[in-house]
Structure 1
Amino acid sequence: MDLNALADFHLVATHGGFGRASRASHRSKATLSRRIAELEEQLGVRLIERGVRGLELTEAGQSLLSRTEGPMHEVADAVAAAREGAARPRGRLRVAAPLLFSQLALGRLCAEFRARYPEVEVEVVAEDRVVDLVEERFDLAIRPNPHADTALVGRCFAQDRLVAAAAPSIPMPTSDGGTVPVPAAVMNHRQGETWVIDGGRLTIEPVPVLRLSSLLMLRDAVIAGAGVALLPQSIIWHQLARGELVQWGRVDGKEVELWVLHTSRRLASPKVSAFVEFICARYADGPLVLAG
């Protein structure tokens, strides 16, 4: 496929017509029309309907536009960087990240990154679902314990552990080798599990007294004495240090890795590479500790 013809198609489609595209690009309408006709012939489909009410994209045209818009922006970024003789991070960087990490860390991180790279505009979408980077036009995703995906590449930049913790007023049980039932605050989606503490020193059967949808709600509930909870170490360091919570132990099999990922089908643009290096360096010197 001729990338120049594809670029002309994007130009006409985004401007909504040959006339506006011609004025924006200072190229003749006849040239643009010819290039798109050649592209349609190469693909064997109509991309644009030219009616009395103006230009309309066909279903094939809409599909081509949505699927190539992100990669075309990356190519434009790479070409601009090559022309300038330096791979300088620039342009908009869209990041999808989990809600908790976004709330407790990404505001400060993005401010630091923006101060270092002032030509990058950062947009973060904070939600816990797994986004499709290509379809939804994200440059990067931050994910805990991501599943193997041949379409994505990236690096683990931080590690965390889930621990059992409770207020000092809740007595830590002792074990005679069996499973000990304990009142617990749990996440909504957790059902019928047991927590093996420190390699079997203690096995807890959490008896739910509260079911909550947020780890921060869970933390606040156990500080108030609701029971024991399974919490990331990263969000309770300060509460442990102040004596508001007591750590009963690490829960076996509950390690968490945070990864920063980008699609392997997209050029690793300077802004993407810069953010990956930045966030990996930011957590290189110690454990993951989140404020809040």
Structure 2
Amino acid sequence: MDFTSLADFNAVATHGGFGPASRALDRPKATLSRRVAELEESLGVRLIERGARRLRLTEEGQALHERTRGLMAEIQEAGEAVASRAPVPRGRLRISAPIVFAHVLLCKIAARFALAYPQVELEIIAEDRVADPAEDGFDLVIRIDPPRDELLVGRCILGDVRMVVASPLMSVPSPSARGTESEDDRRASALVVPAVVSSASAAAAGMSETWTIVTSTGETRTLIPTPVLRLSSLLMIRDATVAGAGAARLPRLLVEDDVAQGRLACLGTEAGPPVEIWALYSSRRLLSAKVRAFLDMLQDLPGHT
């Protein structure tokens, strides 16, 4: 029995189809199909029902998968254990990261890593979906404020805050200039501002949503965003805000340079705890030398916690 063909068959069975297995392993579907066909020919039995809408193992395929998947996992873990002790990181390293984080910070880290570890083939996928390390074939995933997950472990690599910003040319009424109400009334009242919002918050945006911010003087203010433009990308929102379309609530790491250069004015930072950015990997896998090396390099990020 060919070991590679057996491994490919188990990957197809585990991931639920040739397509998902192809994406997880980054190997052509045709190659996986050929390997499974060769395994079937060598065993003289059909392992997968062809033509089914969803993957369906035959009785023989189910039996083979159940009896060999544990063994395959042990072999993989043994290989990872050896690799984790390797003095020089090598092999393929796949990382999933949010689009803004990847564009603003990760590109420079990636370039430094490639120069420092030429024997590692680094691949970074910039995406805002929540990728699963096991199902999607990633060694490391970057997530913002992730919920607790016993299947993932890792490090908090960065703390950030959300800032409410607007073009300096945009006219925003001053809360202190809205009539003759008392100071307590001013603090409790809200300021309505035209805003650029993301599609994710578009359903909630409007008079029912509020932005509670802390100003540079330490005062707490409440802003009510009135959407004038809805965009699905934070990078698009940032550009529209610089162009004067309205105020926006954006990560500091994305707009702090614009504020420093005067392209945007900061109305305040969002009240509440800071945002945490984590680098996570599967708790079921040993920490390899290549992942450890990348995590160590992330410690050089500005504002690393």
TM-score (norm 2): 0.71
Partner of 1:194: 210
> Residues 145-160 of structure 1: matches in 2 within 5 Å?
145-160=145-160
Distance, in Å, in 2 between the alignment partners of 1:248 and 1:9 is 64
Partner of 1:287: 303
Q: 2:282 aligns with which of 259, 263, 266?
A: 263
Q: 1:244 aligns with which of 253, 259, 263?
A: 263
Instruction: Number of aligned residue pairs: give it.
Output: 244
Query: Is the deviation greater in 247-256 or in 153-162?
Result: 247-256
**SS of residue paired to 1:165:** strand
Identity %, equivalent residues: 39
Residues 262-291 of structure 1: CA deviation (Å, up to 9, x unaligned): 1111011111111111112x12xx437xxx
> Residues 114-129 of structure 1: matches in 2 within 5 Å?
114-129=114-129
Partner of 1:19: none
Q: 1:75 aligns with which of 75, 78, 99?
A: 78
CA RMSD of aligned residues (A): 2.9
**SS of residue paired to 2:303:** coil
- Residues 1:11 and 2:4 aligned together: yes
Residues 72-105 of structure 1: CA deviation (Å, up to 9, x unaligned): 44532432565xxx43211111111111112222
Residues 277 and 64 of structure 1: CA distance in aligned 2, closer, same or farther (over 3 Å) = farther
Amino acid aligned to 1:217: M
The answer on whether the counterparts of 1:70 and 1:137 sit within 8 Å (CA) in structure 2 is no
Distance, in Å, in 2 between the alignment partners of 1:162 and 1:231 is 5
Residues 160 and 251 of structure 1: CA distance in aligned 2, closer, same or farther (over 3 Å) = same
Q: CA deviation at 1:252?
A: 0.9
Q: CA deviation at 1:66?
A: 8.2
Distance, in Å, in 2 between the alignment partners of 1:81 and 1:161 is 35
- Residues 1:178 and 2:178 aligned together: no
**SS of residue paired to 2:271:** strand
Residues 109 and 63 of structure 1: CA distance in aligned 2, closer, same or farther (over 3 Å) = farther
Partner of 2:292: 273
Residues 15 and 203 of structure 1: CA distance in aligned 2, closer, same or farther (over 3 Å) = closer
Residues 102-134 of structure 1: CA deviation (Å, up to 9, x unaligned): 222222211211211111111122211112211
Q: Which has the higher strand share?
A: 1
Residues 123 and 231 of structure 1: CA distance in aligned 2, closer, same or farther (over 3 Å) = same
Residues 181-202 of structure 1: CA deviation (Å, up to 9, x unaligned): 1111111111142011117632
The answer on whether the counterparts of 1:174 and 1:202 sit within 8 Å (CA) in structure 2 is no
**SS of residue paired to 2:193:** strand
Residues 122 and 232 of structure 1: CA distance in aligned 2, closer, same or farther (over 3 Å) = same
Q: CA deviation at 1:208?
A: 0.2
Structure 1: gaps spanning 5 or more residues: 1-7, 17-47
The answer on whether the counterparts of 2:213 and 2:271 sit within 8 Å (CA) in structure 1 is yes
Residues 144 and 228 of structure 1: CA distance in aligned 2, closer, same or farther (over 3 Å) = same
Structure 2: gaps spanning 5 or more residues: 10-38, 49-60, 176-185
Residues 69 and 194 of structure 1: CA distance in aligned 2, closer, same or farther (over 3 Å) = farther
Residues 58-83 of structure 1: CA deviation (Å, up to 9, x unaligned): 2455688889878744532432565x
The answer on whether the counterparts of 1:95 and 1:138 sit within 8 Å (CA) in structure 2 is yes
**SS of residue paired to 2:291:** helix
The answer on whether the counterparts of 1:195 and 1:204 sit within 8 Å (CA) in structure 2 is yes
The answer on whether the counterparts of 2:97 and 2:126 sit within 8 Å (CA) in structure 1 is yes
TM-score (norm 1): 0.73
